[in-house]
Chains A and B, each alone.
Chain A
């Protein structure tokens, strides 16, 4: 089965290793992974800031890149998936042609954990089982309704998922929010990190690189030694 990988701009620029892990995990599920020519960013930063004309411009480009491809489009981010699946429709509600493309692309989009779970889950086992704090990112959980899939994947590879206080509360990333409202974002982050540190977790795992860059940067500033990974990296590690 051919699968298109929409790597997301954050994976592309900041953490290509996570993208490589995604590709390897997909290949081990028997998929043939393709990278669509000309992918950039889904346009969410502009959309969330209220700059809809600008967001539409980027979205139009992304649709041009994705619409002619074939197979499922796998996105290693709940947030970008939500943008592609739900917000593009909103952006193009007055443009029938683009809206049709958006619907077609939305129907093919799958967030990484969602796709892996649909394909029967990963075949793997951790050599040294780790205590993992799983951070359910907001758009994944509330936007796409993906709650149990990442936890099932964790348990299927033999990782121990440790619960922590107010696990489903936002970590404070929120894209530009983390810069425009930096001090509120940081207060939210502090609550989240304190809860994760108190849980005794050795690793922090999520399906969104935005949250992870924010939380990892915060952990580093605090001098904490928790290892931060995208879920795909942990699965990939368990499969090697």
Chain B
């Protein structure tokens, strides 16, 4: 990936195919979400309670994690702690090597995208295949996901058809049914051959150590039952306290993501196969990934760890809808990505992301956990001002602004000069090409010339006339 956000965004804006795909899908998902949420009794209260319970878990995260670990161990799973992405990959590759694993079948996991686990497997000579349809196509295409729940939202079905024809030696089709059948044929074999199943976790339940996975394709269930080793890679923030809390989150997650009341498959895993059970893995491992989350928890954006990755904020975000997911430059796109990415990867290389928002608040409105995303974007902008280089014109300009705008007489004088400069460029009351920073404005729109007489002056004159 090259350049910064601005450059990638510009490229994306010029991509017509991307716009057709994005416009359609995000609008449709937005409507489905609204309908889905309307079908939930007392949705506002459910959201409030979900938020409260999530914030409570985060507030006591260290204790919750210890309790969760104890339940996992009781259930017969082995628990591993990974501070960094490298730690996570090393631990997982070691588990695989020890168990003599040659093929891994994966269900969708954002955490594994975060650690670039597939590349680590490949380096170790272990074959890996994505079994979520979207992720499978991403893998075939050598591409990257561009949406949290719809990894190939940026692709048209014609593009998918071409990728499959090329990579699977099947005949070209742009019929979605046919394409799904191609994938299913391939993936059946993979499930049966895999020695290891790798999943993420949508939730981990503290009270009983259950791992909850939601999918619409049933691949999560196959991956957790068929291979002899099951590894869960999950972020440390994915905990919910109780099964009652889980119930609330499941109601919210599916509705917010796709408008469904529940996803087609909700899988709860509590440990490896026990004696007397006829399916399930011999070994189960849970790898708990920090990767900057503890740091986020200690800062101004701690709230973002309450995100349940439904993707609703992406679909609602007019910036995401304009530039798509790849422009954000890392695994998590959209409003949530603009907070998570600087958190886990460091602010300096991603300082542009928090500014890539009009602060319209659509994200906050749709967030099932009511995360105050605009507040966090502002907090990160503030942090960026303190810690990263800013364009000189902006820094000087705003410092000057603050000095002037806190002295009314000076302000009037400065504004009078600015008005005169701008009015000189105007024709018929409009400016087609503004100087300095305002040029960004006139690249796309005319600028109304400032008034000859300000409101304040007009008002004083009116008052004088009246008295």
Interface residues of A (CB under 8 A from B): 7, 11-16, 19-20, 23, 35, 37-41, 43, 45-55, 57-58, 60-61, 65, 90, 138-139, 142-143, 166, 168-170, 172-189, 191, 213-214, 216-218, 220-221
Contact = CB atoms under 8 A, between A and B. Distances in A.
Given A57-B406, A142-B361, A217-B447, A46 B398 contact: yes
Given A49-B385, A181-B6, A185-B358, A54 B399 contact: yes
A166 B322 CA distance: 14
B398 A51 contact: yes
B180 interface: no
B364 to A, nearest CB: 7
Contacts of A51: 382, 385, 395, 398-399, 402
Given A169-B318, A214-B445, A181 B401 contact: no
15 contacts: A13-B454, A48-B381, A51-B395, A51-B399, A52-B382, A61-B406, A138-B362, A182-B443, A183-B443, A184-B322, A184-B356, A188-B318, A188-B358, A214-B445, A218-B445
B440 A40 contact: no
Contacts of B402: 43, 46, 51, 53-55, 57-58
Nearest to A213: B448
Given A40-B406, A181-B9, A220-B445, A174 B459 contact: no
Contacts of A178: 440-441
Contact of A143 (B361, B405, B462): B361
A184 B450 contact: no
A23 B461 CA distance: 14
Contacts of A52: 382, 385
B13 A50 contact: no
Nearest to A137: B360
Main secondary structure of the interface of B (DSSP, over half): helix
Contact of B448 (A14, A57, A175): A14
A54 B140 CA distance: 50
Contacts of A183: 9-10, 13, 443-444
A217 B446 contact: yes
B9 A49 contact: no
A55 B441 CA distance: 23
A35 B463 CA distance: 10
Given A49-B385, A188-B318, A139 B444 contact: no
Contact of B453 (A16, A174, A187, A213): A16
B392 to A, nearest CB: 14
B405 A58 contact: yes
B79 interface: no
Between A15, A46, A181, the greatest number of chain B beta carbons within 10 A of the residue's beta carbon is seen for: A181
A138 B360 contact: yes
Contacts of A40: 404-406, 408, 411
B438 interface: yes
B415 interface: yes
A50 B384 contact: yes
Interface residues of B, number: 66
Contact of A174 (B360, B404, B456): B360
Given A12-B456, A181-B6, A170 B360 contact: yes
B194 interface: no
B325 to A, nearest CB: 14
A47 B378 CA distance: 8
Interface in B169-227: none
Contacts of B375: 90
Contact of B444 (A60, A175, A221): A221
A50 B378 contact: yes
A181 B356 contact: yes
Contact of A20 (B323, B415, B446, B458): B458
Q: Which 8 A-B residue pairs are closest in the complex by CB-CB distance?
A: A174-B358, A50-B381, A217-B445, A54-B402, A170-B360, A186-B444, A16-B455, A179-B440
A170 B358 contact: yes
Contacts of B318: 169-170, 172, 188, 191
B355 interface: yes
B459 A19 contact: yes
B273 interface: no
Contacts of B448: 14-15, 213, 216-217
B359 A48 contact: yes
A53 B446 CA distance: 32
A38 B403 CA distance: 14
Interface string B426-467: 000010000001101111111110110111101110100000
Contact of B358 (A143, A172, A191, A220): A172
B462 to A, nearest CB: 8
Contacts of B418: 13
Between B404, B405, B411, B451, the greatest number of chain A beta carbons within 10 A of the residue's beta carbon is seen for: B405
Contacts of A189: 444-445
Contacts of A174: 357-360
Given A138-B359, A179-B437, A11 B378 contact: no
B401 A166 contact: no
A166 B378 CA distance: 26
A37 B405 CA distance: 14
Given A16-B451, A174-B359, A182 B415 contact: no
B440 A180 contact: yes
A10 to B, nearest CB: 10
B1 interface: no
A163 to B, nearest CB: 15
Nearest to B456: A12
Contacts of A176: 394
A184 B13 contact: yes
